[in-house]
């Protein structure tokens, strides 16, 4: 679907069956205005007899719907009712979050509604973990996959010692995994990153202390920002990050783990 939308939007400057231009700039200077009192027909109707798009909107707001009593926008489809695609996000996860923009969908309501979204079917999240944003104490760049621990003021910094009970989680977004849900998003705050708390996430690990096998419990290591095998179960209590989903016989690397703070 995204390919069709992209192909269509790239060639939209071609000829048109009807062209309407508004010369004014104030309220009411609409390029196209449709009005009807019918309860069954549409004020503006667009139909494509092939496989293209019935109505295409481009501008600061591509398409806007407003209603004082019912639905602002209704979407029906045999595949997807409403499709939203954002083109401003970069490939780097940290850059995407720090950009403070780039949502495919953004819902705002009034004081009583607060932008609530009602879903009658399943909510399918394609990401791998449930993350929460935290303030990062360090000014240096923190990469996805880094193991983080709590400071006294509630901010996070890279882990630096073994079996640290202050461990908070792993920076989400490394490898092929992306967060499926992010809690406590605050666009206006700088130096905040999503930390995976539940689910699967790629994590930096150091196997020089002990070889890591699938199912091994992991804890913080003396290597900054890296996890290691929790070989001592007594020290590991309260400092376990999760379970290894892939082995690492030696050296340092990035492996997927199942987050399970305990």
What per-residue string of b and e applies to 115-145 under the rule 16 or more CB within 10 Å gives b? eeeeeeeeeeeebbbbbbbbebbeeeebbbb
- On whether the CB atoms of residues 182 and 133 are closer than 8 A, the answer is yes
Q: What does the angle CA 142 – CA 146 – CA 150 come to, to the nearest 5 degrees?
A: 85
Residue 201 has pLDDT above 70, yes or no: yes
pLDDT above 90: percentage of residues in the chain? 31
Which has more pLDDT, 213 or 60?
213
User: What's the average model confidence in pLDDT over 231-245?
Assistant: 92
Residue 123 has pLDDT above 70, yes or no: yes
Lowest average pLDDT, out of 57-66, 127-136, 159-168, goes to: 57-66
**CATH code of the domain occupying 129-259:** 2.40.300.10
Which has more pLDDT, 26 or 209?
209
Residue 220 has pLDDT above 50, yes or no: yes
Structure-block tokens of residue 102: 């780039």
> How much is the pLDDT for 94?
46
Backbone phi, psi, residue 193, to 5°: -135, 150
> How much is the pLDDT for 100?
40
> How much is the pLDDT for 103?
62
- For β-strands 192-206 and 167-171, DSSP reports them as antiparallel
Residue 187 has pLDDT above 80, yes or no: no
Backbone phi, psi, residue 8, to 5°: -70, -45
SS3 of 171, please? strand
Integer angstrom CA distances of residue 2 from 9, 61, 80, 87, 105: 10, 18, 12, 11, 15
Highest mean pLDDT out of 27-31, 55-59, 249-253: 249-253
User: What's the average model confidence in pLDDT over 110-139?
Assistant: 76
Give residue 97's pLDDT band: very low, low, confident or very high (50, 70, 90).
Answer: very low
Q: Is 167 exposed, middle or buried (0-12, 13-18, 19+ CB in 10 A)?
A: buried
Task: Indicate yes or no: pTM above 0.85.
Answer: no
SS3 of 119, please? coil
Which has more pLDDT, 158 or 55?
158
d(CA 232, CA 219) in angstroms, rounded, equals 10
């Amino acid at each position: 679907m995204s390919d069709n939308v992209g192909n269509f939007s790239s060639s939209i400057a071609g000829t048109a069956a009807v062209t309407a231009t508004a010369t004014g700039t104030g309220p009411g200077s609409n390029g196209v205005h449709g009005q009807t009192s019918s309860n069954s027909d549409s004020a503006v109707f667009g139909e494509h007899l092939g496989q293209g798009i019935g109505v295409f909107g481009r501008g600061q707001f591509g398409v806007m719907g407003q209603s004082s009593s019912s639905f602002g926008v209704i979407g029906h489809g045999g595949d997807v009712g409403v499709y939203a695609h954002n083109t401003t996000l970069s490939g780097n996860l940290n850059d995407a979050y720090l950009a403070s923009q780039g949502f495919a969908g953004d819902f705002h309501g009034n004081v009583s509604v607060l932008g609530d979204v009602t879903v009658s079917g399943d909510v399918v999240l394609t990401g791998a973990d449930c993350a929460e944003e935290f303030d990062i104490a360090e000014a240096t760049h923190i990469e996805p996959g880094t193991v983080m621990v709590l400071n006294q003021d509630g901010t996070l910094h890279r882990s630096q010692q073994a079996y640290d009970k202050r461990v908070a989680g792993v920076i989400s977004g490394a490898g092929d995994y992306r967060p499926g849900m992010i809690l406590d998003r605050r666009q206006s705050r700088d130096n905040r990153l999503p930390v995976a708390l539940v689910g699967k996430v790629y994590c930096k690990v150091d196997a020089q202390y002990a070889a890591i096998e699938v199912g091994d419990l992991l804890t913080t290591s003396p290597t900054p920002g890296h996890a290691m095998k929790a070989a001592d179960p007594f020290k590991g209590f309260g400092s376990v990050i999760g379970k290894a989903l892939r082995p690492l016989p030696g050296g340092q690397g990035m492996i997927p783990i199942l987050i399970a703070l305990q």
